[in-house]
Every structure is written in C-alpha cells, then in structure tokens.
Amino acid sequence: MKKTIKAIVTASMAVLIVLSGSLVAVAAAHAAPTKVPGDFGPPRGKPIQAILTSPPNVPPPINRNYPARVIVELEVIEKEMPISEGVSYMFWTFGGTVPGSFIRVRQGDTVEFHLKNHPSSKMPHNIDLHGVTGPGGGAASSFTAPGHRSQFTFKAINEGLYVYHCATAPVGMHIANGMYGLILVEPPGGMSKVDHEFYVMQGDFYTTGKYRAKGLQPFDMEKAIDERPTYVLFNGAEGSLTGDKALTARTNQNVRMFVGNGGPNLVSSFHVIGEIFDKVRFEGGSNVQRNVQTTLIPAGGAAMVEFHTEVPGSYVLVDHSIFRAFNKGALAILKVDGPENKSIYSGKELDSVYLGDRAERNLDAVTTATKAAASGALTQQEQIDAGKVLFTGTCSVCHQANGEGLPNVFPPLAKSDYIGQDVKRTIGVVLHGLTGKVMVNGKEYNSVMPPMNQLNDDEVANILSYVLNSWGNPGGRIAADEVKKVRAQPVTAQKAEH
Amino acid sequence: MLVVLASMQVLPTHATTTVEYRAIPPGSFASVLANDADIAPAAIPAFAMRTTPVSQGEYLAFVKSHREWQRGKAPSTFADGTYLHTWRGPLALGAGMSVDQPVTNVSWFAAQAFCEAEGGRLPTWLEWEYVAAADEQVFDARSNPAWRARILSWYSQNSSVPLAAVGGEGGGNANAYGVSNVHGLVWEWVDDFNALLVSADSRNQGDPDKLQFCGAGAISLKDRDNYAVLMRIALLSSLSATSTTNNLGFRCVRPLSVEKK
Amino acid sequence: MKAIFTLLSGFATPVFAAAIMCSLPLAADGAQVKQTALPANSVYQLPVSFTDQDGRASTLADWRGKPVLVTMFYSSCQFVCPRIVEALKKTEASLSPQQAKLPILMVSFDPVRDDSATLKAMAVERHIDFGNWTLARTDARSVRKLAAMLGIQYRELSSGEFNHSSVILLLDAEGRIAGKTSTLGEADPAFVKLVRKLKP
C-alpha cells in the first residue's frame, strides 16, 4: 500500500512542478535507498556542461571513470527551414536542427535537464527521453510554455542509444514536425575507438503539397493520420547528407553510425548500399548482431551500426523500403576516399552485350553461327543448332519447346501442314506476325502472333531452319538473304485466310 | 446591482478601433474535451463576445487609466517577467508596433482586469470553443476537412513575422457569428484556463491515477482529429496565470443584456 | 426586474466581486497600516474576501504576518478532500508545539453549496480545531482567481462534483509560496521540513 501511494505522489509531484510555473521549493517524496543496477552512486566532481552537437556530428567520447552531474541545456526553436530544394517547412526543433542535438552521457550520470522554449515559439513543448526511468520519460516535468524553461533531473541507469522526442499534444504532429533526437548513454568503460562517428536519423514528413511542390508547405494532418508521407528523410531535409554535405571517411577506417528513427509512422529498413555492417547493436540495445545487410529501426528506436571501409567510392544510405529512397528522399551518401583495393572489389572487368531474356542459355551455338555466317561458311547444322537456342528463348513460350503449341490457342509447328504448304511464307509470319483465323492440321486457331522483327536476318533464318528440320517437318534451310528480301518488301498484312 | 451594470456601459475609449461586441445565440455544443461524467453536449447560454481580440492600442489605453497594470507596476504575482516586454516603455508600444495589432505578452490576471474594466470577463473555454467552431458560413464547421486544414495552417507560419492587424487580413474574415480572428492570429486566454485538467503528459489519458485530479481523472480528448483546437488546449494547459507569451492575446465576453440596453 | 436578474446571474458575480473589491482596501489598509508594502510575489496581492464557518468576514491578506498552510477543497467531496484534511492534521502533528498552531486555511471551490453552516458541519464531522483552522467560502470569480494564483486546477462537473488538483501550499509570513505538496492522507516529510524551516 505504501509503495502505491509513493508512486502516485511521485506522479503528482511532476505535475506540480509544471503547475507552479516558477520553481518553488517542491517537496520530494523520500526515496528508498535500494541498490539499482546501473546506479553508481551520487554524482562526483564538479557538474559538467554536456556538449551537444548538431547532426551529423556526435559529441566526443566521455572518457570519464566516475559518475558526474551533467547539465544539459536544450532549447526548443520553431523555425522555417528547407525540406527539399525550393521547398520549406515550419519545423519544430530541439536545438534548431532536425534531428535535435545529440546528447552523450555516461551510465550512472545524474543528468540535470533544462528545457528552454524560445519566446518566438507558438507552441508549448516538452521532452520524453527514452533513456529516462520515470513516468513519461520526463514529459510532464518538462512541459514548457513559450518563453519559459523547465528543469528536471534523472539518473541514466541504463546504457544504450535512446530516442528522445516531444510528447505534447498532439504528439504525432510534434514528432512529424521534427521534434526528436538521440541520447547516447555510454557504458562505464566507454565504447570501442573508431575513426568516425556519425549521427543519422530518419523521419517521415507530411505536407499538403506533393513531393517537391515548391514554397512553404504546411503540415497535412490527413496524410499523417493515413500514414501517407510526402517525404521520408535522413536528417530532416532532402540533400542534408548528399553532395557537399555527404559524410566522408577514408579507406581502411572504422565507422560507427548512431542511427535513429523518429517516425512518427514508418519503420526503417536501414541499409548502406555496398557495405555490410560488421556489427549492429540492434534496437540500440546490448546485443551485437554481426554481418548484417539491413537492420530494422522501429519508429522511436535506434541502432548502432559499425563497419570497416575497404574500397573507395560512394556508399548510399537508404531506407530499403526502396520507393522511400528514390521517390521520397530517404537517401544519404558516405563518400570513402583512398586507394583502390582490387582484391576486395575489382571494379568493372567486362563490358559486353547482355541479352537479358536469354541469360540462362548457352549462346555458344549462336556465336558460332554468327561467326560462320560472317565468313560465308555457315552450315545447315550450325544454323539448326543456333536456331534451337534462339527458338527456346523466343518462340517456345507459345509454340512450346516440343513445337506442339497449345490446343485451341497457339497452333503447332510440329508436322505442321501450314509450314509444309509454303515454307517461305514462314519468313513473313515471323517478321510481320499473324492475326486472325488460321487452319493448322485440320484445326482452326484464332489468335495474335506479334511481329518478331526485333530478330535480325541471321536469327530468323536460323530459327526457321531449326523449325524446318524438327518434329517431322519437311527439312531444308532458310538463308539470311531470303529474310532480308522479305523484310525489305512493303508489309502486307498476313491474314490467315489468304 | 443594476446601477452598477448601467455604469458599465461607459466603455473605455480607444485610439483607432471601436469596441464591438456581438450577441452570440444560445446553443448546445459538444466540446472536444470530454469527461466520463460529462458526455452530453453542453448547453451554452447566450452571451456577447468582442468581435476582435484586444489590440495593442486598446491595451495601451487601459494601462493609461489603470496604472497598477503598467509594466513595472504590476506585481510579479500577477504577471511574469516578460509582461509587455516588447513595449518600449510602460506607456509606449514597441518600435514598429501598430495600435491595430493584437496585444500579446499579457498574463491571465492582466487580461481579466482588462475585461472587468470593460464590464465583462474572459470567455470560458466552452464559450470560446463554441464560437471558434464556426467558419464563414456555418456555426459548426468542425467536421469540414478544409476548415480544419485552413486553421491548422497557422501553425506552419513563421511567428517571427509581425502579427497582422485585428479584424484585418489573414483570418480577419468574420465567422458566422460575426466574430473575427478566432483562428490564425493569436492564442487567446480563457477564463477557466486552469480548468483544463489535461495531464501534463498528454499520453496519460485513461490513467488510473485518479487521485491526481480528485476522483475524476484527467480530461480526455474526445475529438483527437481536431488538431488546431487540441493545440489550444495544450498551450493553455502549459500556462500559469502569470505567464505571458509572444503569441498569446485575449478577447472578452459580456452579458448580453449590456448590449441590448 | 427579477427576470433580468436571473438572466444576468451568470455574470452577476464578477460585478459583485468588483463591488466587494472596491470596499476591500479600507479593511486591508486598516489591518496593515503599520506594515511595509507587500512583496511583488505575494499571494496577498490578490484581493479576496472570505466568509468562514462561523459567518465571520475576512480577506486573504488578513493572514499576513505568520506562515500559513492553504488548500482548496469542497465539502461534499467524499474521496480526496478527507485525505487532504488528514494530510493537514498529520503535518500539524509532526510540528513542534509552538508551530503546531500554524494557521490553516481551507477555501471551498463550491460557493453555491458551501455556506457557513455546511462548512461548520463538515468541520465538526472531521474534528477540526477551530483555534487555528479556517474553512472559508468566497464568490465564484474569486475562487477562479485564487486557484489560478495558487496553481490549482479545477472544474465543475455537471454532477455538481469538482474535478481538481490536490495541493497543500505553505505560504511564508508575507504570502510568498514557500512549498507545495500533493501527498494525501499523511504528512509529506520533505514538506514538513520546509514548514519547520519557517519560524512562526
């Protein structure tokens, strides 16, 4: 019972601070001195002013071996900033940037948090830090009217990477307007040394105008509720991390990215094109997953990803829900400079014609036939061999690999009286197609064969030679010259009746 | 009593604008705020409301005749340190400031005092919300998405640009009640701003911690889509009675009978 | 005449309050004639007049001169308000004998129902010591202002109940807010410490 009352009192105290406006002496509930893991005792030494950084920068490592009182001063500013080229948006920010300033403390630190709401603000704001243990994550205690400031204190008892965000009603709109950031609670022993640390945070944005519609774009509540974002962005603006603003590193360096997702709605499939994350502390927690291609970052969640740079070039950070990357802006660049490493990645070794829909077939026969034709020594067998390969790619889809066609739909080529009646007629059929009724082996077919004039003369000749010498057809061969002549003739519609 | 009321008809004079109150007919109204005990629409008695927010010029005239409300004289228990801070002096508007702009940076106590001097008071939240539900054509436009989007667009405007004149362009169009600038110009104080017992952490709706607000718990928001109005509530609930902000002004209401006389 | 009065009833109170305020300075001046000006952040800057459980008239500023515990309540409240009384009693009990007679002022949210007789009945029921406790009512407009001054939130429900935040405030001799607590039903040790610090 006593415990219950204590909890209630604590909650009400938080409200009290808000109500009083000015900070009068507020009686605090007496805390039981139980040992909490991650609590390394009262703060020691002089209070330390936290270094806050704007994205994509990260404050330097803590390098401290005792718990301290760390003072964080964060200012809320509502300001118009570009969201894309020629497009601006009224952002609500923690520290003047989207995402907000990066906060770095040590596990066990006592954090004295000051939230200042700039006098030019229209809205009241507050902050919910996911790294806080206590009701609302500090939200009620930090509720601050424009031109006012609030203060509350918490002990960072859990290490990890945590999202913070505004939690003032309507919460979704405050987040949609850019009110989120990251707080890193380092383990007591610090983190492994790396060459670069970057701060990247995804968010989805909802504007009344379409993607890249110019001018100041207001927030679109309907789209936000329907979860239809106009923009999905890294660090609050299209182009915030590309071109001159791209992240940079050298080859043979260790890179750590603190990646958050503010939401408000979307879950990120975070991926760096061309890199494999050597280590991911997924969900910002303590487990390490190795060799990860894409890591899922929930809205209101974060991850620490690490990789080593081997090969120079531009690495593209994307939300691999890929339309967001190429149609809504979720794209950033890490530019890695340094010497090539051909043993890891060769660069282009071959540039040759690639025939997409024949990719799985051995085209040697075609190549042989092409060469033989060029030298004037093409044999009938070479033609048949090449024709067989080509037939498989182009014709067998309808006429089937065994030439039997499909009953009542596609006429057979096997033992076909239609072919036998006029062998040369087949050239025109292939080049110009065939539409309408046709009698084959006593059955009527009525469908459409499209013109196959994308095939060159050699290819048509070879395919037809293969057909003539297969499945009980009369044999013989068609020469490329014959195809060439038919192709040169004016097109007369190949009607079956004629 | 009636003698006192009659004397209230003599209104303060103002530099540029004439004070106009418009009769607001009685009605029944479903607020965005709901309480378990109060789900039925509220009955709103008739009253009269100022057609525009109080202007800088009007407030200047007020502090000239009510010295105790001049900046520097008003005790801090009635107005915080930013009270009228954009003025050049206790009796001088700020540089570039126009008498027609709405007055801001006034505390709840100051706004109440102004309205009382005009024979009225601040509107209750319910009265304000009732009038603010109207667009130019209908009394309750709240379900109209276009109306919602329009009033929401104010929040996308940069607040570093000077405020427009009251009754003027930019939301100055009178609504169906004949009242202007309800949206799109400034926030407005309400009489019972400290009755909006919304938990300071808006996500705690339905919190079983009923002791916090004497048995009934925090008010819940019934219409969660009406963002523009929800933001008014959020702002008002962040304030104490001495608070002043750059975008917070007020207007007054009065008994209807004063208008009729 | 009567009809008009009824029509005005919702608005009559501010006028009434204003009328009372006009007469206030006389009484206040009389009591404070030897005192220096009130601090700018004193709650006593607010002119509020009370009627107590015995029908005696007073003003808020009459409490000037000694530290005082102030809270707001309504007598028909069955749930929280008795616990506020309990918290006040236990706070009182944990003070030294000379501090124990610290004035305690409870102001009703409910001027309609809480007349002097009702307040008296409640006080008797709760075994309240009239030596240093005052249960008071004021007009509706002043309730709103006093609550605003003390940072207490409340609203009246259609049921006649009041929805309110529960706060006990400690005012110093000059009426400055020196402490607050929301602990109900028992003494808040940290709050008691603040009270002890203020010499009567």
Nearest to B76 among C1, C40, C77 (CB): C40
Q: Do A79 and B242 touch (CB under 8 A)?
A: no
What pLDDT was estimated at residue C49?
96
Where do the H-state alpha helices sit in C32-157?
Answer: 81-93, 97-100, 116-125, 140-150
* Euclidean distance between CA atoms C154 and C80, whole angstroms: 13
Suggest the residue from A125, A128, A221, A226 to mutate for an interface test with chain B (most B CBs closer than 10 A).
A221
Main-chain dihedrals φ then ψ at residue A282, nearest 5 degrees = -70, 150
- A140-163 in b/e form (b: 16+ CB < 10 A) is bbbbbbbbbebbbebbbbbbbbbb
- Which residues of chain C register pLDDT less than 70? 1-35, 200
Contacts with B196 (C-beta within 8 Å, 6 or more apart), sequence order? B33, B125, B219, B233, B236, B237, C153, C155
Is the Cβ–Cβ distance between A463 and A391 less than 8 Å? Answer: yes
What pLDDT does residue B204 have? 53
By percentage, how much of chain A surpasses pLDDT 90? 59
Reported as a single tens digit per residue, the pLDDT across A310-351 is 999 989 999 999 999 988 999 999 999 999 888 888 876 765
Contact B214 C163 (CB under 8 A): yes
Query: pLDDT below 70 — which residues of chain B?
Result: 1-18, 34-39, 169-172, 197-225, 258-261
- Residues forming a β-bridge with A249: A336
Tens-digit pLDDT profile for residues A31-58 = 555 678 889 999 999 999 999 999 999 9
pLDDT band at A370 (very low <50, low <70, confident <90, very high): confident
Vertex B178 angle, CA B172 and B183, to 5°: 40
pLDDT tens-digit profile of A151-191? Answer: 999 999 999 999 999 998 889 999 999 999 999 999 999 99
* Residues in contact with C110: Cβ distance below 8 Å, sequence separation at least 6, in sequence order: C74, C75, C76, C137, C156, C162
Nearest to A257 by CA among A219, A213, A310, A202: A202
pTM: 0.68
The pLDDT, as a whole number, for residue B222 is 60
Please report which confidence band the pLDDT of residue A1 belongs to, taking 50, 70 and 90 as the band edges.
very low
Name the token pair of C133.
């406790």
Which residues, including other chains, have CB under 8 Å from residue A351's CB and lie 6 or more apart?
Answer: none
Whole-angstrom CA distances from A69 to A14, A36, A39 are 20, 18, 13
| Per-residue pLDDT at A448 | 78
Instruction: Give kind and range of the element (H or E) at residue B108.
Output: helix B108-117
Tokens 């660069």 label which residue? Answer: A347
Window 160-199 of C: residues touching B by CB (8 A cutoff) are: 161-166, 182, 184
Q: pLDDT confidence of A198, banded at 50, 70, 90?
A: very high
Burial class (CB in 10 A: 0-12, 13-18, 19+), A184: buried
Q: Which of C10, C77, C155 sits opposite B195 (nearest CB)?
A: C155
Chain A residue with Cα closest to B208: A8
In a 10 Å sphere around its CB, with 0-12 CB exposed, 13-18 middle and 19+ buried, how is residue A377 labelled?
exposed
User: In the predicted model, is pLDDT for residue A145 greater than 50?
Assistant: yes
Greater confidence (A401 vs A1) lies with A401
Q: Is the pLDDT of residue A353 over 60?
A: no
Question: What pLDDT is recorded for position C25?
Answer: 37
Which of C166, C167, C178 has its CB closest to that of A25? C178
Taking residue A446's Cβ as centre, other Cβ atoms within 10 Å add up to 12
Cα gap A274→C62, rounded to integer Å? 78
d(CA B220, CA B196): 10
pLDDT tens string A267-314: 999 999 999 999 999 999 999 999 999 999 999 999 999 999 999 998
**In sequence order, which residues have a C-beta less than 8 Å from that of residue B93 and are 6 or more positions away?**
B56, B57, B60, B87, B99
Give how far Cα B134 sits from Cα of A29, A290, B69, C44, Å. 47, 59, 34, 41
* Cα-based torsion angle of the residue sequence B255, B260, C3, C7 in order, rounded to the nearest 10 degrees: -20
Beta bridge partners of A94: A76
CB of C81 less than 8 A from some CB of B = yes
Separation of alpha carbons A89 and A240, rounded Å:
14
Cis peptide before A218 (omega within 30 of 0): no
Cis preceding-peptide flag for C200 (omega within 30 of 0): no
CA atoms within 13 A on the CB side of B84: 26
Who among A5, A27, A30 is closest to C194 (CB)? A27
Provide, as residue numbers in chain B, all residues whose Cβ is less than 8 Å from the Cβ of A140. 199-201, 204
Q: What is the pLDDT of residues A396-446, one digit of tens each?
A: 777 888 888 877 778 899 999 998 888 888 898 888 888 888 889 988 888
CA dist B30 and B19 (Å) reads 30
